[in-house]
C-alpha cells in the first residue's frame, strides 16, 4: 500500500526513545497493575480534558459498560443511542440486559439527530448515549436539555473524539459521564488497549473505581458486582508519553484534513459539500448525481473543535462507493467503510421493525480516506 489508513511506526518514530524509557521505568518498578503510572496518567489526562475525575479502564467498550452500570442500567431498561456507530455503543447496553432505542443520523456530521432524542424518551428510559462520531461532537444542547427535563443521565461516547469541542466544551465534560478508547487508531492510542471514564461527580467516580476491581474498595470485601476492568500500568506509561504530543498531533490532523479537502476539490470532478449544518433537521439536504462525492462537513466552526479521527466522504449512487473503493485500492490507497451495517439491522438487535432512512442510505455511501500528510499528494 502506498497510502495506508494509518502509519503507527512513522507516528511513533519522533518519540520512540521516550516510549522505550517508559517501558524500562515500568519494567524496573516491578509494578504492573494499578500503580503510579495509572495514577499519574489519570491526573494528567483529567487536567488536559479539564475535568475533576478521570478513571483509566481496560478499553472503550468496558468504559461504556461501567458508565451504564454506574447509572444503574439493568435488565429491561431502555437507553437511547444512535444506530450509526461502532457496535460497542449498543453492545454495552445489551450486555447489561438493557434495550437500545435507536436514533437516525444527521446528514451533516452523521452523529445522532439530536432533535429526535426528546421524542424517544419514555417511562423506561434510563440513560442517553450521545456518540461523538469520527472526531466531532454531537449537537449536545438539545440532548442535555431533554435529559435534564426528565432527570436522565447522559453518557458521551467520546471514543473517537478526545479533544473535540462543542461550543468550547470538551468532549466528555458535558454529560454525566464521558467514555474514551485508547485503541491504536484513536486520537490518543495506546500500544495495545485502554479506555477512560470522565465525570464531575465524585460519588460516580468512586463507584466506577470500585466496579473496576470487582466492586471492592477493600480487597476481598465486595460491595458491588464489578469485574476486572483495569488499565495496564505499561499502557498508562506509554499514554503519558503520547499525551505530551496530543496537541500537536491534533493540529496536524486538522491541517491534513484542510489540505485533503482542498486537494479533493481540485482533483476530483464531482465533489460537493453542504452549505450549512442540518443537525437539527432544519435546512435543505443537498442532492447530487450518482458518483458525486460529499466532503466531510464540520458542524463546529471553531478552530480545533473537530479532531478528524476519521475523514469520511459520502459517495452517491448505487454501487458507486464500492467502485471508488476498488479503484483507490488498485492505486495503492487503503480506505475503510465505517460502518457497513446500521446497528438496528444487526442480527443480534433485530427486535425492532423501525426504519432509519438516512442511516440506511449512509451505510451504502460512506468511505473513510487515509488522513496522512502524504494522502493529498498521492490520492489519484
Q: Which residues make up the interface to ligand PLP (CB under 6 A)?
A: 59-61, 85-86, 88-89, 131, 157, 159-160, 181, 183, 193, 195
Instruction: Give the nearer residue to ligand PLP in terms of CB position, either 84 or 294.
Output: 84
Instruction: Give the nearer residue to ligand PLP in terms of CB position, either 292 or 306.
Output: 306
| Helices H / strands E in the chain, number of each | 12, 15
Q: Is 260 helix (H, G, I), strand (E, B) or coil?
A: helix
For the bound state, the minimum distance from the C-beta of residue 196 to ligand PLP, rounded and expressed in Å, comes to: 10
- Nearest residue to ligand PLP by CB is 60
Instruction: Give the nearer residue to ligand PLP in terms of CB position, either 189 or 226.
Output: 189
Cβ atoms of 163 and 300 closer than 8 Å: no
For the bound state, the minimum distance from the C-beta of residue 344 to ligand PLP, rounded and expressed in Å, comes to: 16
Please tell me the distance from the alpha carbon of residue 200 to that of residue 54, in angstroms, as a whole number. 9
Instruction: Give the nearer residue to ligand PLP in terms of CB position, either 131 or 154.
Output: 131
For the bound state, the minimum distance from the C-beta of residue 185 to ligand PLP, rounded and expressed in Å, comes to: 7
Please tell me the distance from the alpha carbon of residue 162 to that of residue 197, in angstroms, as a whole number. 12
For the bound state, the minimum distance from the C-beta of residue 271 to ligand PLP, rounded and expressed in Å, comes to: 27
Cβ atoms of 253 and 371 closer than 8 Å: yes
At 248, list the grid cell: 500537536
For the bound state, the minimum distance from the C-beta of residue 130 to ligand PLP, rounded and expressed in Å, comes to: 11
For the bound state, the minimum distance from the C-beta of residue 238 to ligand PLP, rounded and expressed in Å, comes to: 15
Please tell me the distance from the alpha carbon of residue 303 to that of residue 368, in angstroms, as a whole number. 22
Question: Is the bond into 58 cis (omega within 30 degrees of 0)?
Answer: no
| Sequence-ordered alpha helix ranges (H) in the chain | 8-12, 16-29, 36-49, 60-70, 88-95, 140-150, 202-212, 233-243, 246-267, 320-330, 357-362, 375-378
Q: Which residues contact 128 (CB under 8 A, 6 or more apart)?
A: 79, 80, 81, 117, 121, 143, 146, 147, 152, 153, 154, 155
For the bound state, the minimum distance from the C-beta of residue 192 to ligand PLP, rounded and expressed in Å, comes to: 10
For the bound state, the minimum distance from the C-beta of residue 84 to ligand PLP, rounded and expressed in Å, comes to: 10
At 302, list the grid cell: 471553531
**What's CA 207's distance to the chain center, in Å?**
23
Amino acid at each position: 500500500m502506498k497510502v495506508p489508513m494509518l502509519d503507527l511506526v512513522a507516528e511513533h518514530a519522533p518519540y520512540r526513545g521516550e516510549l522505550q524509557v517508559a517501558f524500562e521505568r515500568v519494567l524496573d518498578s516491578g509494578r504492573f497493575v494499578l500503580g503510579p503510572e495509572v495514577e499519574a496518567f489519570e491526573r494528567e489526562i483529567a487536567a488536559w480534558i479539564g475535568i475533576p475525575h478521570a478513571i483509566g479502564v481496560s478499553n472503550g467498550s468496558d468504559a461504556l459498560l461501567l458508565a451504564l452500570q454506574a447509572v444503574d442500567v439493568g435488565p429491561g431498561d431502555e437507553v437511547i443511542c444512535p444506530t450509526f456507530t461502532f457496535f460497542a455503543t449498543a453492545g454495552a447496553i445489551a450486555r447489561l440486559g438493557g434495550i437500545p432505542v435507536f436514533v437516525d443520523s444527521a446528514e451533516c456530521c452523521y452523529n445522532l439527530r439530536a432533535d429526535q432524542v426528546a421524542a424517544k424518551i419514555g417511562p423506561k428510559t434510563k440513560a442517553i448515549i450521545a456518540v461523538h462520531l469520527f472526531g466531532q461532537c454531537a449537537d449536545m444542547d438539545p440532548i442535555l436539555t431533554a435529559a435534564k427535563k426528565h432527570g436522565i443521565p447522559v453518557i458521551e461516547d467520546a471514543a473517537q473524539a478526545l479533544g473535540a469541542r462543542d461550543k468550547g466544551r470538551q468532549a466528555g465534560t458535558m454529560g454525566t459521564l464521558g467514555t474514551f478508547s485508547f485503541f491504536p487508531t484513536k486520537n490518543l492510542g495506546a500500544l495495545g488497549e485502554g479506555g477512560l471514564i470522565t465525570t464531575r461527580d465524585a460519588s460516580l467516580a468512586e463507584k466506577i473505581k470500585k466496579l473496576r476491581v470487582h466492586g471492592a474498595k477493600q480487597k476481598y470485601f465486595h460491595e458491588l458486582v464489578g469485574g476486572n476492568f483495569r488499565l495496564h500500568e505499561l499502557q498508562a506509561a506509554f499514554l503519558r508519553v503520547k499525551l505530551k504530543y496530543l496537541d500537536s498531533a491534533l493540529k496536524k490532523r486538522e491541517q491534513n484534513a484542510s489540505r485533503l479537502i482542498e486537494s479533493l476539490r481540485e482533483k476530483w470532478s464531482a465533489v460537493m459539500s453542504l452549505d450549512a449544518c442540518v443537525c437539527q433537521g432544519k435546512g435543505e439536504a443537498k442532492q447530487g448525481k450518482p458518483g458525486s462525492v460529499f466532503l466531510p462537513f464540520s458542524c463546529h466552526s471553531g478552530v480545533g473543535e473537530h479532531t478528524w479521527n476519521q475523514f469520511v466522504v459520502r459517495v452517491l449512487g448505487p454501487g458507486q462507493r464500492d467502485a471508488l473503493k476498488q479503484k483507490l485500492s488498485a492505486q495503492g490507497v487503503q480506505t475503510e467503510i465505517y460502518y457497513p451495517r446500521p446497528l438496528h439491522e444487526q442480527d443480534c438487535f433485530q427486535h425492532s421493525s423501525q426504519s432509519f432512512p438516512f442511516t440506511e442510505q449512509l451505510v451504502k455511501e460512506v468511505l473513510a480516506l487515509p488522513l496522512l500528510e502524504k494522502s493529498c499528494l498521492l490520492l489519484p
